[in-house]
Amino acid sequence: MAEPFDQGEFKRAAFLPEITLELYHQLPEDVCMQVEVVDGWMVRCESPTYSHQTIAHNFVSLLRDPVKNADRKERTCHRVVADLDMLIAEAPKFHFRRPDVLVYRCVEYDRGTWARKPYASDCVLVIEIVSADSVTTDTRDKRAEYAAAGVPNYWIVRMVNNDGPAISVEQFRLTLDGGYISECLNVRRRDFYAIDAFEPFRLRITWEQLDDGL
């Protein structure tokens, strides 16, 4: 026999305070790792699947050498990371996301409470891998948020049945009017490369490289 549904947690959630940057840093670390904050409200993030994590880690590994090569040539400095908080706004409403993969300009000093983590304005590339529970968030919500925040390049990766090998990669570039335009859509079995890009870095990645470890 099913137990009676307890609505207490939902009622308490309705009276949670708006989350500010200061309040966020007072939360337990395990809670912080399970949420993003959108316009002052916590949004729970499901743990990624093995396929999702593997593809993200492969992107990080495959991006590092091209980024280092570009940095040596241009005398610049960038970091390539996975699952790192990216500040979109501190005020009037605290707002941050935790992209699956991001490439950002090096932050050489602490910037207040956000320390050396990147602002959206530091990021040159953000990649989101779409899971079953993030289709609308990754393809609509974050696309609008990242464009409004000025992230110049946003790539969306789709997986087979939202939990398998990567099946497509769509590359969006920020235009002068502040919106994204789709520059390229690479599809498995049609295109040899999953990524064949010149911006923001010269990069070629095959589907087999993204599959490594699956």
Domain regions of the chain by residue span: 48-86+96-211
pTM (predicted TM-score): 0.91
Q: What percent of the chain has pLDDT over 90?
A: 86
Residues 48-86+96-211: name the CATH superfamily: tt1808, chain A (3.90.1570.10)
Q: For 4-28, what is the mean pLDDT?
A: 71
Flag the least confident range among 17-26, 96-105, 169-178.
17-26
Contact 180, 135 (CB under 8 A): no
Name the band, by pLDDT with cuts 50, 70 and 90, for residue 181. Answer: very high
The residue behind tokens 């049945």 is 161
Task: List pLDDT tens digits, range 102-139.
Answer: 999 999 999 988 999 999 999 999 999 999 999 999 99
Phi/psi of residue 154, each to 5°?
-130, 125
Strands (E), 29-159: 35-38, 41-44, 78-82, 86-89, 95-97, 101-105, 123-129, 153-159
User: What residue type is 173 in one-letter code?
Assistant: R
**pLDDT score at 133:** 92
